[in-house]
Amino acid sequence: MAIKVGDTVPSATFTTFGASGPGPVTTDELFKGKKVALFALPGAFTPTCSAKHLPGYKEHAAEFRAKGVDTIACVSVNDVFVMKAWGESQGVGDDVLMLADGNGDFTRAVGLELDASGFGMGKRSQRYSILVDDGVVKEVNVEQGGEFKVSSAEYMLAQL
């Protein structure tokens, strides 16, 4: 079952690329005591993800911070090296935390896995955004197949 408003974010571990290289980030470290705007997408370097989804959150990062968001995080079922390279190519800097869900553990735990095998991409994440406050889900915005509306930065900003 997919995650819903009022749920506690399930326990999982992401990988991110820090100053000393790749390292783990647990959901407790990410969400405890913080307001987090997290968005997930099917894949780094894919057309909609690169042209609209990630750039929107980068562009509006200051507005999210002004509305009390501590962290903007991007999740994809990709490895940490791909997420690092994609973040660098998109110039996200410190505005968006790039999180690799390499094995899809978080994606499965929130019930938002997508079978993209027909496109040669295997198991991926659906396109969605969630607003989490101290580990509790406040908003859930899951896109219908092929759409890009409710998971956008602009849509989430209107929910804050």
Q: How many angstroms separate the CA atoms of 77 and 122, rounded?
A: 10
CB 41 within 8 A of CB 98: no
Amino acid identity at 26: T
Helix (H) or strand (E) holding 109: helix 105-109
With tokens 């390499």, the residue in question is 102
> Exposed (0-12), middle (13-18) or buried (19+): which is 138, by Cβ within 10 Å?
middle
Task: Name the residue among 147, 160, 154 with its Cα closest to residue 42.
Answer: 147
Which residues carry out catalysis? 49
